[in-house]
Amino acid sequence: MQITVSTLTVLARGMLAAGLCAVAGSSFALTVYTAGPEGLMKKLAAGYEAQTGVKVDYFQGTTGKVMARLEAEAANPQADVLISASWDSAMDLDKRGWLLAYESPNAAQVPAQYKSATYVAQGLSALAIAWNPSSNTPRPTDWSDLAKAPFSNLVNMPDPAQSGTALELLSGLEAANGPAAWTLFDALKANGMNLAGANAQALNPVLQGAKAAVFGAVDYITYGAQAKGEKVDIIFPSSGTVVAARPMMVLKSSKNPDDAKKFIDYVLSDEGQQAVAQTYLIPARSDVQAKRPKLAEIKALPDATEAERAGREALLKRFSELFGR
């Protein structure tokens, strides 16, 4: 499927052997493993500590690295709270019985499709085309434009083996378009599209002018770059895109379940959701204002079905083979 704990054991062992570690210290009372903006996690940790007096230790990484670390520590769990960039990872852990049931009172304004008995969205993002307007290429309007001659060898894509959101995009396009999606993927490969690591690694060459566009850019990262003065446009394709919810959950193995629940409460509080909005994510709560286009302004592909999610491991294998991975 998706990036799951079961498929990343080998990766986890390799990463831990290489010395990946948390920000660290056994003196901390709460441990959070998170994929996403590090600046956001710093704000949330500081705000939670100021409100509760409980310090937070956190490990920051891509969804793949976070899930791999969680798997590697299965015999001796360290994390209390997990924040992932992949909704599928929460569903997978829930099915495995790893999650503690908890519904925060602050989740009342979170739409039903973005919460369950054991996990809830922190915020949402959408996948887009990030385009450098100084690249001497025509402004794209849809995914298929990036498979055309003007974009030959000028397109990056986050590697779906490392980016849960990139895999969700492939899956959404396949579900919506059937065989035509693979015609597009073949054309992108033939046009020289490059798989370039995780999301930031795919975007940086576009900001630097070495590439013209990212296929499947995470919008909040691109909005953040734009806010810093980078010349980059965020384009939501006319045929539709995937909206990716970022789930938060308390692990059943948590040694501090009460503090972990309070952390979920804090992230969904007015203050926590304002911090989410400041990073250009769409807040999970519908009553908190976003600093970028709202969901209603983005043409979203249908939510993934159970069958679609079940087919993601095979999809990833086929796509990786197409690109020689």
- In this structure, the answer to whether residues 66 and 35 fall within a common structural domain is yes
Residue 13 lies in a domain: yes
Distance from chain centroid for Cα 216: 11
Cβ atoms of 154 and 191 within 8 Å: the answer is: no
The 10 Å CB-count burial string (b at 16+, else e) for 88-127 is bbbbbbbeeebbbebbbebbeebeeebbbebbbbbbbbbb
Residue 213 lies in a domain: yes
Distance from chain centroid for Cα 7: 18
- In this structure, the answer to whether residues 165 and 50 fall within a common structural domain is no
pLDDT confidence of residue 63: 83
Cβ atoms of 151 and 255 within 8 Å: the answer is: no
Ligand-binding annotation for 280, yes or no, is no
Domain that holds residue 45: 6-124+245-292
- In this structure, the answer to whether residues 183 and 237 fall within a common structural domain is yes
- In this structure, the answer to whether residues 42 and 91 fall within a common structural domain is yes
Read off the pLDDT of residues 121-133 as tens digits, 9 standing for 90 and up.
Answer: 999 999 999 999 9
Q: Please report, as a single letter, which amino acid is at residue 264.
A: I
- Whether the per-residue pLDDT at 172 is higher than 80: the answer is yes
Q: What are phi and psi of 264, to 5 degrees?
A: -60, -45
Give the model's confidence band at 19: pLDDT under 50 very low, under 70 low, under 90 confident, else very high.
very low
Cβ atoms of 69 and 21 within 8 Å: the answer is: no
- In this structure, the answer to whether residues 57 and 159 fall within a common structural domain is no
Residue 278 lies in a domain: yes
Read off the pLDDT of residues 99-118 as tens digits, 9 standing for 90 and up.
Answer: 999 999 999 999 999 999 99
- In this structure, the answer to whether residues 216 and 314 fall within a common structural domain is yes
- In this structure, the answer to whether residues 111 and 52 fall within a common structural domain is yes
Residue 30 lies in a domain: yes
Cβ atoms of 222 and 203 within 8 Å: the answer is: yes
- Whether the per-residue pLDDT at 295 is higher than 90: the answer is no
Give the model's confidence band at 24: pLDDT under 50 very low, under 70 low, under 90 confident, else very high.
very low
Give the model's confidence band at 28: pLDDT under 50 very low, under 70 low, under 90 confident, else very high.
low
- In this structure, the answer to whether residues 136 and 98 fall within a common structural domain is no
pLDDT confidence of residue 9: 41
- In this structure, the answer to whether residues 230 and 192 fall within a common structural domain is yes
The two tokens of residue 31 are: 């441990």
The CATH number of whichever domain residue 117 belongs to comes to 3.40.190.10
Residue 54 lies in a domain: yes
Read off the pLDDT of residues 56-104 as tens digits, 9 standing for 90 and up.
Answer: 999 998 888 899 999 999 999 999 999 998 898 999 999 999 999 999 9
Q: Which residues pair with 251 in a beta bridge?
A: 99
pLDDT confidence of residue 314: 96
- In this structure, the answer to whether residues 231 and 137 fall within a common structural domain is yes
Residue 209 lies in a domain: yes
Residue 1 lies in a domain: no
Question: According to the 3-state scheme, what is the secondary structure of 262-319?
Answer: HHHHHHCCHHHHHHHHHCCCEECCCCCCCCCCCHHHCCECCCCCHHHHHCHHHHHHHH
Range list of β-strands (E), 79-170 = 81-83, 119-131, 155-157
- In this structure, the answer to whether residues 68 and 198 fall within a common structural domain is no
Q: Maximum Cα–Cα distance for the chain, whole Å?
A: 57
Of 181, 157, 158, 129, nearest to 311 by C-alpha is: 181
Say how many domains are in the chain. Answer: 2
Read off the pLDDT of residues 269-285 as tens digits, 9 standing for 90 and up.
Answer: 999 999 999 999 999 99
- In this structure, the answer to whether residues 38 and 175 fall within a common structural domain is no
